[in-house]
Structure 1
Amino acid sequence: MLPEAERTHRVIALVPAFNAAATVGATVTALKAIAKIDDIIVIDDGSNDSTDAEAAKAGARVIRLSQNRGKGEALNAGLDEVLKENAGGGTGTNAIVALVDSDLGSSAVEFEKLIDPVLKNQVDMTIARFPKALRKGGFGLLKRTARNGLKLFTGIEFDSPLSGQRVLNGRAIEAISSFESGWGVEVGMTIDVCRKGLRVREVPVQMKHNETGRDLAGFQHRGQQFMGVIRVFAKRLMTR
């Protein structure tokens, strides 16, 4: 690892957050404990609670969207800020960007494991591979569909195809251009990065986040994800 004084890439964490007042402060605090992270930007996606105040109190910069636009558009708002502040020539950036869910809490400190391989230029994008879920969710259809679709598009079988915890360098950011709106952000990102022949690695972590169960809300959530994944696959089929 290069000494801090010799680092040429800033590491910036983007944290999209919607009604996350209960968890975003702990997530930001954990990220601030990682010396390699230079800046933390929380994108408050039109929350109607105190998400923005809790994020600011913990030490993050906050971008507040006037209405809820979804994870992809929140990330795009954060990425626009990164590109404005860290231009690397042309439309690129010399920054390394960490994508962090707001509900990780103290386990966000595990992001150091995702940052290191990118800083060392071993890979262009890392993806967090979570431990086995403690709570039974759905019946695996969503994950199988995402995994099989990604293998079709990329030739790679991903263990955690839907993991949103990622770190990207400038090449990976340029490959995706912008994040998908709605659901399907993760699979779209993976296809775009792999299509450019960039290096991707799944990294085992001990992160924890809110898990959906086998209740109505859980099935509705996964149903929305499923349709988003199918939409992204259909869109990428048109651009093969």
Structure 2
Amino acid sequence: MGISIVIPAFNEEKYLAQTLGVLQKEKGISEVIVVDDGSEDLTSEIAKLFTDQVITLESNYGKGEALRRGFAASSGDILVCLDSDLGESARFVRELYLPVLVGQADMSIAVLPPAHKRGGFGLVKGLARRGIRQLTGFDPTSPLSGQRAFTREAVSKISSWEGRFGIEVGMTIDIMRSGMRIMEVPVPFSHRETGRDISGFVHRGKQFMDVGKVLGRKWIWR
């Protein structure tokens, strides 16, 4: 059963090589696809050194469209999306996709260890969690986790590829509404964290807006 890894990346030249280098060594992975979402640095050039396929988008469309393009180009029976900055911790990817591989779940979501430094105040996560619970009955621990594995059928249930930081919330609602099985699994992934500084608060503000928009659309079409 083929396993395709899809990594959306925007200006990730600093972190991408280490993540891809680790994935190259992992047994059982059929292909690794990087979708360069309109980067202005050397993301594409670095990706070409390590991957089976690099898809270069002409503009920064957002994570949702990058994932849609990557999944459409993939050939595996199991599709895995990972962030580009996992570095050495990418070696734990099998723990993420194993529940899907053995038929326990149609989508698995990685629950990461606690952050090393203080981030936001939980507003975005709280909004996402409450929205998913109210719309589906599922109460996720990690509603914003970008590390996920899917059956190809589960991916086909995603009705809209919300542009940016709302994609995970949207896909969770769509897959849950379709009656498929979702499982959260602890995986010791690690990646860069946003702190309580101006850039961190700007990032979380964008997240809050995008998640709110997705929940609003899903509520209207419930």
Q: TM-score, normalised by structure 2?
A: 0.96
Whether the 8 Å CA contact 1:28–1:60 is kept in 2: the answer is no
Out of 65, 76, 83, the position equivalent to 2:68 is 76
Q: Equivalent of 1:175, from 157, 161, 168?
A: 157
Q: Which residue of 2 aligns with 1:160?
A: 142
Match of 1:22 in 2: 14
Identity percentage of aligned residues: 45
Q: Which residue of 1 aligns with 2:28?
A: 36
Letter matched to residue 63 of structure 1: I
In the TM superposition, residue 161 of structure 1 has moved relative to its aligned partner by 0.7
Gaps of 5+ in 1: 1-8, 87-93
The answer to whether the aligner puts 1:219 opposite 2:201 as a matched pair is yes
Q: Is the contact between residue 34 and residue 51 of structure 2 (CA under 8 Å) also seen in structure 1?
A: no
User: Deviation of residue 218 (structure 1)?
Assistant: 0.5
Aligned to 1:203: 185
Q: TM-score, normalised by structure 1?
A: 0.89
Correspondence list, 1:133-144, <5 A: 133-144=115-126
Deviation at residue 33 of structure 1 after TM alignment: 2.2
Distance in 2 between residues matched to 1:123 and 1:196, nearest whole Å? 13
Residue equivalent to 2:129? 147
Q: Give the distance between the partners of 2:4 and 2:27, measured in 1 at CA.
A: 11
**In the aligned structure 1, how far is the partner of 2:24 from the partner of 2:131?**
36
Question: Which amino acid is 2:133 matched to?
Answer: K
Query: RMSD between aligned alpha carbons?
Result: 1.2
Counterpart AA for 1:234: G
Q: Determine whether 1:234 maps to 2:216.
A: yes
Q: 1:89-127 CA deviation, whole Å, 9 max, x = no partner?
A: xxxxx6211001111111111110011111111110000
Q: Once the 2 structures are TM-superposed, how far is the Cα of residue 182 of structure 1 from its aligned partner? A: 2.3
Aligned partner of 1:66 among 45, 51, 58: 58
Task: Give how far 1:32 is off.
Answer: 2.0
- Contact map agreement 1:29 1:59 (CA 8 A) in 2: no
Amino acid at match of 1:207: F
Q: Report the residue type matching 1:199 in the other structure.
A: R
Q: Report the AA paired with residue 99 of structure 2.
A: P
2:66 maps to a residue whose letter is A
d(CA) in 1 for partners of 2:22, 2:141: 26
Report the count of equivalent residues. Answer: 222
Question: How far apart are residue 183 of structure 1 and its match?
Answer: 2.2
